Structures are given as C-alpha cells and as structure tokens.
Amino acid sequence: MSGHSSKFSYDLSKVILNQGKQYIAMLGGQHYTDNEMYRTYYRKAHHVLVHTHLQKESMEQMEMFKDIDIRVFPLGVDCEIFKPNQQIIKTNLQLLYVGRIVEWKRVHLAIESIHLLVSKGYTGAVLNIIGPTVSEKYLQELKSYVNNYKLEKNVFFLGLKKHHELIPYFQQADLFLLPSDKETFGMVMIESMACETPVVGIDCPGGPKDVIETGINGLLSTPETFAIDILNLIEDQQKMSMLKANARKKVINHYSIEQTAQVLLQSVTDALQ
C-alpha cells in the first residue's frame, strides 16, 4: 500500500492487523507527512519499500523511521521490450526528452543544449520533446525560445504518446535528457538506458544519482554546465559507445523486471513468515 493514499491506507492497515495478517508499506517519493497516524502506519508495517538507495539512506537518518526495516524495491522494465534496435540507421544527431511540460522539469535546458549543438555545427541535430502539457504558460515560453533561437527545424513538440509508442524514440535517440533537479526516480530514465540510450541528468538527491554512474553509464551535470557537458560528450564518440553499452548492462543487472520480481517475492515471503 502506498503511503500517499493517506487515511485510507491507515484505516486499511488496521483492518489487516485485526485479521492477524501483515502489510507492507511503500513510499514512491520523498514526501513525508510526520504525524502520529503516519508514524503508526509505518511502525506497524512488516517493512517499508522505497525505490532508491539514496531515499533509504535519507529515511534512516529521520527520527520518524527509526528502527524500521526499509528495503529498496527497484522499479524494473522488461528488457525484451525495451531494447536496442540495431536495424535503425541514424542519419542525424537526436536528443530526447520525455516528461511533463511544466516549469520544474526545466525543459528549457534541453532547448539550450540543442541551440549550442546547432551553433557548433551540428545543424541537423534534433530534439524531440514528448509529454503532456501541465503548464500552458511554460509551453509557450519554450516555443518562444525555439523561435528566438531559430530552431524550428530542430525542436519538435510531439505531445503525449502511449507507452509502447515511446520505444522507437528511445531507440533512435543518441542521448536522453533529464534536466530536472527534483526527480525521485524516473522510469523513463531506466527505459531509455535499457534501449542503450544513455541519460544526461542533473546531479541532485534522488533517482538519477542512484542509477547513473557519471562517466560510466551516463552523465550527471549541473544546470549551469548542462549544455556544454552534452556537447563535450557528443564529441567523444568513444565515450559515447562505452556509455551506451554500460547503460543497458546497468538496467539488466539492477533494474530488469526479473530483478523487481525477485525483490517483491522475497518481500512477500518474509511478510508471510
């Protein structure tokens, strides 16, 4: 049960305990409400599942989670579906952003990156932006950036896509951009890496830092150096090749659906015992 469902989860947990059974709590993000109801809910759970090691370490420093069994439950992907497509012939450089169009996602950093690439001679470079518009105001600001930089032939707003429709975009992209500094995990990051498309994210507490080993299977940057770091990486094709291979290895070894199943099986088995 997710801790975010508030009083419903708490009331249900009491019913479960009254039946002499156990429950497992899960926290999908770093949002903690500290009151007696939540403390009781977490304290009486058999254990608590979170999705990153960084979140687990952070929670273990908090008094409200003292002496609670906290475990990492990776959100896995099917690596037989999200996989590279060797049949694709890439004719131009492609960058990809998948996520909501809202200010805190910092999509403008992706546009600044493609602007730098074009100015350095990568005139055919493309940035595909996929996702629902949450802030119409921000979308119009992004389109203004595109017009001001004269990037109408380089940046494409593709709107919302169905989940299975994302796969070819991951496969065709050279880099996946994750410019937000408020990511708690980001499944799109794992899906991209499974397709051998490395991720350039922001070095911040949360999911990207838990998954990306910078310079090995991806790159962690800063808002100030995001664009130049992407340019430098693009110009180092040997490093790009290494990141691609290592990105998929990371997912297979730690974030495959099989890894998820094993952790969940162990979690349920322990609670039943």
- pLDDT for 65 equals 94
Q: What angle do CA 216, 111, 107 make, to 5 degrees?
A: 80
Mean predicted confidence (pLDDT) in 230-254: 96
- Is the model's pLDDT at 86 over the cut of 90? no
* Residue 205 located in a structural domain: yes
Instruction: Decide: residue 256, CB within 10 A, 0-12 exposed, 13-18 middle, 19+ buried.
Output: buried
Same domain, 119 and 58: no
- Is pLDDT at 183 greater than 80 in this prediction? no
**pTM for the model:** 0.86
Do the domain assignments include residue 85? Answer: no
Please report whether residue 86 resides in a domain.
Answer: no
- Give the tens place of pLDDT for each residue, 44-68: 999 999 988 888 998 999 999 999 9
Query: In one letter, which amino acid is 192?
Result: S
**115 and 37 within one domain:** no
Cα(215)–Cα(240) distance, rounded to whole angstroms?
9
Among 22-26, 35-39, 88-92, 255-259, which stretch is predicted with the lowest mean pLDDT? 88-92
Say if residue 223 is in the same domain as residue 262.
no
Tell me: do 103 and 177 sit in the same domain: yes
Q: What was the pLDDT predicted at 226?
A: 97
Q: 261 and 245, same structural domain? A: no
In this structure, what CATH number is given to the domain that contains residue 30? 3.40.1380
Contact criterion met (CB below 8 Å) for 197 and 217: no
**In terms of domains, do 242 and 266 share one?**
no
In a domain, 141, yes or no: yes
Mean pLDDT value of segment 196-217: 89
What 3-state DSSP class applies to 170? helix
Domain assignment of residue 133, yes or no? yes
261 and 216 in a common domain: no
- For 173, phi then psi, to 5°, come to -75, 150
Q: Are residues 116 and 167 both part of a single domain?
A: yes
CA pair distance 196, 243, nearest whole angstrom: 8
Percent of the chain topping pLDDT 90: 79
Specify if 87 maps to a domain: no
Task: Give me the number of domains the chain comprises.
Answer: 2
Q: Is residue 174 part of a domain?
A: yes
* Residue range(s) defining the domain that contains residue 31: 3-76+256-272
134 and 164 belong to one structural domain: yes
Could you tell me the sign of the dihedral formed by the alpha carbons of 139, 140, 144, 150, in that order?
positive
CATH number where 240 lies: 3.40.50.2000
User: Is the confidence at residue 3, as pLDDT, over 60?
Assistant: no
Question: Tokens 């990141």 — which residue?
Answer: 243
Calculate mean pLDDT across residues 134-140.
97
Q: Compute the distance between CA of residue 180 and CA of residue 110 in angstroms, rounded to an integer.
A: 10
Sheet holding 175-178, edge to edge: 155-159, 126-130, 94-98, 175-178, 199-202, 219-221
Q: Say whether pLDDT at 28 is over 80.
A: no
